[in-house]
Amino acid sequence: MSEFTLVPAGPDTDRYAAAPGDATTRGWAIAATVTDPEVPVLTIADLGVLRKVEQHDGTFVVTITPTYSGCPAMEDIIARIVAAFDAAGLRAEVDTVFRPAWSTDWITPEGRAKLVAYGIAAPHPVTTAPAGDAGTLFVRPAVGCPRCASRQTTLVSEFGSTACKALYRCRRCDEPFDYFKEL
Ligand SMILES: [Zn+2]
């Protein structure tokens, strides 16, 4: 048995250590094609949701960490992972681990670039938020418009197209856009 693990070490982590030709490398590559139903431009690897791929007795065991507990997309993501392996003639099971909790800081630099190209402002690093209990109000640093990069933006609603996004409007190009909230 062999395994490799993505260990998030902050926004600059975008590489995984894996032996070339290793079965788990193939498994990782297959799992990494699965996209998030709520943000179709991002794969679960881009999001940092994909944590580990192992192989036991011919079955791949894919470990994921949900973006937040109760995320309605998770059941869909699990089904997509199993289907992706099935399409390759392989068997997979999905393990869900909740600790450590997922953070938007786990989104890879490539994933953040894809978000902006898709018209969604990427989350600020969580470390910029003052310490406090969940739900503590704080002033979020200015969110840049993904279209024109202007920081002259206004929060329209804490909830955008999905609960994990807030709706902003750019005062320069007058376009509304989603901000992927830091978590
Ligand atoms: Zn703009």
Q: pLDDT, tens digit, for every residue of 135-170?
A: 555 567 899 999 999 999 999 999 877 778 999 999
User: What is the distance in A from the centroid of ligand 1 to the CA of 144?
Assistant: 8
pLDDT average, residue stretch 171-180? 95
Please state the domain extents for the chain.
Answer: 3-104, 119-180
Residues with Cβ < 8 Å from 48, sequence gap 6 or more?
6, 8, 65, 102, 103, 106, 107, 108, 111
Decide: 180 and 56 in contact? Cβ < 8 Å: no
The span from the CA of 87 to the CA of 82, in Å, is: 9
Would the pLDDT of 50 be above 90?
A: yes
For 3-104, give the CATH class. alpha beta
User: Would the pLDDT of 72 be above 90?
Assistant: no
How confident is the model at residue 52, as a pLDDT? 94
Are the CB atoms for 179 and 120 separated by under 8 Å? yes
**Ligand 1 centre and the CA of 173: distance in Å?**
4
Residue 91 Cα to ligand 1 midpoint, Å, equals 46
pTM of the model: 0.77
User: Taking ligand 1, which is a single-atom ion, which protein residues have CB atoms under 5 Å away?
Assistant: 145, 147-148, 150, 170, 172-173
Cα 147 to ligand 1 centroid, rounded to whole Å:
5
